[in-house]
A and B are shown apart, each in its own frame.
Chain A
Amino acid sequence: MHPPSQHPGYIFLISVLVIGVIAAATSTSLLLLGWAAEQNGLLLVQSARSYEYAQTCIERSLRALRADVSYSGNETIAFTFGSCQINAITGSGNDDRNICVTGYSGDSVRRVEVHVDAVYPSGSIESWQEVSSFTGC
């Protein structure tokens, strides 16, 4: 025969509290995970936008060079969700020009570097790649 409990309901109460804490922790984790996933999604969109803005700057630079091979870059172009920046274009004349651009959108930054073999008679590109830092400009 066990003596009757001196604290009836305490086990139940503690159980409820423990389960409650676990449930709260789990839900908080899920909440944070969901928020993080949402941020990832938004960041991915920003990353894609900044990349396309960088590509836009490259396209505009190539077009400007075709219009005037003395075009030197050094300008920033604004868009609805960000901007892109064209560094000073290296080289001169028709051959061996380096274009370095950076696309921005939100917190995302993407850099693209292009080495142009020749602007004319038709655009000839030696390399067109995304880089972590510029080497030719």
Chain B
Amino acid sequence: MQRIILIRRQRPGFLLMEVLIGITVFSLFVSAIGYTLLYGQENTIMAGDRIRATHLTQRALDATRSIRDGAFSSVTTGTHGVWVDRTTKKWAFSGSQVISSGGYVTKVTVESLATDWVRVTGETKWKHGYNRSGAVLITTELTDWGAAKPVGNWANFTLEGSWTDAGTPVMSSIALYGNYLFAGSDTSGGGRGLYIFDITTLTAPSRINSSFNLGHATYDLAVKGQRLYVLNGDNSNEIRVYDITTPSGISPGTTVTTYNLPGSGRARSLALRGTTLIVGAAESGTAGEDEVYTFDISNSGSIVLQDSLDDASTVYGIAVSGTAAILATSDNGAEMKYVKVDVPANISFPVNQGYNATDTPDGTAIAITGTSAVLGRANGSSIEEMLLFEMEGGGGYDVPPPGPWFHEAGGGVNDIALDPTGCYAFLATSFATKDMQAVKLPDTALPEADSYDTSTGFGRGIYYDITRDRVYMVTDSALLIFKPGSGSNSCS
């Protein structure tokens, strides 16, 4: 007892101090733990708020995109809420904002950047109590890239520009690459086989790379990517592929690859279907010398034979529609003929092979737009040289009736171009006073909308350029560029 009293006397007040310090330390510890718990929980909840707001904002932007897809004019400037319209069951603007459950306020603000271009800012705000507030802001832009471009009034077209050669190269087919136009030609009259034009200035096209000489007649041309496919009369290189990255630099050195078709100089026509090149050839009775070929050109540096078909006619023109290649042929029993090409390695003539037009003039050219196919024929005294077919199925293999419908071209149709809207067919013909003819397609009477008489020879090749709304035609000695007249077309 005596000793206890002595100890207490040596540590006066220490127990109280220890208790106070202990309580303080413990309180700090508990506070830190508690704050950490609350902070972590708050962060998690706020992250949840942000995720939900992001979702709502993106949904509002997607809804605006959907409204644009319906009609660009519906994306009006201002601040909107978005909702699904009960009547149309489609997204629509409604009010100036939308409040979702949980108190999230979402709105989209549309600003006009041009007549066909808007900036859309989606924003979702929330405020939950004292410390849980925030906003998510996401911006995108929308344009009216889907708007249809009207075709001009080709019922009153005029010559805009031309280039004329001093000789008579007898130019034929046309292909386009940006501001460059390629034209094939014969060689018998001094032609170079391939002509290259810069058409940047439509009123004054200029020939470039004039020293280049293909050395063989060109029958058909096509451009895919930066490759020009030239179908020519070279007995051992009927298909030539050029790199046209720099058109002014085309030379034998820019030849990417070639292909030797069976026989000699038989290639006549070509068409592209995705990564498949379809080639038509002159008729041959020799075994192994077929008339229709398919090639794989998925590798732009090679041409790989897929399949071929024998036929008893020359294929002068090829157009592609769905799974079918449609041919213009010399077959007196089927001037328009189908080939099934959906499997390029196994092509075939379908049961329903084509159409036997009146009399025997050859099918010389064919073009397709939408469900309309136009066949051109050589001149005949008792036939119309242009036929319009309607392929209701859209995938080919349909034959009349209904149709076909006819247009008297007055001369052989050497080439055909169609505008993609199906308003006009443009014909390059051998009619002395109407070398170029525009024919109105929606009217099944197929009336001539307008025509042009050139003194540079017959119309040999023709091309409609939708991007410029221009028609390019080559004749025996000239390149002609036509433009539509003022006013709108009367097709719609």
**Which residues of A line the B interface, CB within 8 A?**
20, 23-24, 26-28, 30-35, 37-42, 44-45, 48-49, 52-53, 55-56, 59-60, 62-63, 65-66, 69-70, 79-81, 90-94, 96, 118-123
Contacts and interface: CB of A to CB of B under 8 A. Distances in A.
A41 B138 contact: no
Contact of B140 (A31, A56, A96): A56
A123 B58 CA distance: 24
B449 interface: no
A59 B61 CA distance: 14
A55 B143 CA distance: 11
Nearest to B49: A41
A45 B225 contact: no
Contacts of B144: 63
A122 B225 CA distance: 20
Interface stretch (B95-103, B145-153, B201-209, B428-436): B145-153
6 contacts: A31-B43, A34-B44, A81-B139, A119-B467, A121-B421, A123-B145
A27 B36 contact: yes
Contact of B48 (A37, A45, A79): A37
Q: Which 10 A-B pairs have the closest CB atoms?
A: A34-B43, A34-B40, A30-B40, A62-B145, A41-B50, A41-B47, A37-B47, A27-B36, A52-B140, A122-B148
Contacts of A96: 224-225
Interface string B376-387: 000000000000
A123 B41 CA distance: 50
Given A52-B139, A63-B145, A121 B224 contact: no
Contacts of A39: 47
Contacts, number: 140
Contacts of A66: 145, 149
Given A52-B138, A63-B143, A123-B145, A92 B177 contact: yes
Nearest to B119: A56
Given A40-B51, A48-B58, A118-B420, A70 B43 contact: no
B36 A40 contact: no
A70 B179 contact: yes
Given A92-B226, A93-B223, A23 B33 contact: yes
A49 B48 CA distance: 18
Contact of B44 (A23, A33, A45, A118): A33
Contact of A93 (B42, B47, B467): B467
B36 A28 contact: yes
Contacts of A31: 36, 39-40, 43
B176 interface: yes
Given A59-B141, A93-B176, A122-B149, 8 more contacts: A34-B47, A35-B40, A44-B54, A55-B141, A59-B143, A60-B143, A62-B145, A70-B178
A48 B138 contact: yes
Contacts of A69: 178, 467
B36 A120 contact: no
Given A20-B29, A41-B47, A45-B54, A34 B145 contact: no
Nearest to A97: B225
B37 interface: yes
A66 B469 CA distance: 13
Contacts of A94: 466-467
B51 A41 contact: yes
Nearest to A27: B36
B36 A30 contact: yes
B149 A63 contact: no
Nearest to A98: B225
Contact of A63 (B41, B65, B117, B224): B117
B136 interface: yes
A63 B145 CA distance: 6
B142 interface: yes
A63 B116 contact: yes
Nearest to A72: B178
Contacts of B139: 49, 52, 56, 79-81
Interface string B28-70: 0100110011011111101111110010011001000100000
Given A44-B51, A120-B149, A93 B177 contact: yes
Nearest to B50: A41
A86 to B, nearest CB: 13
A32 B44 CA distance: 10
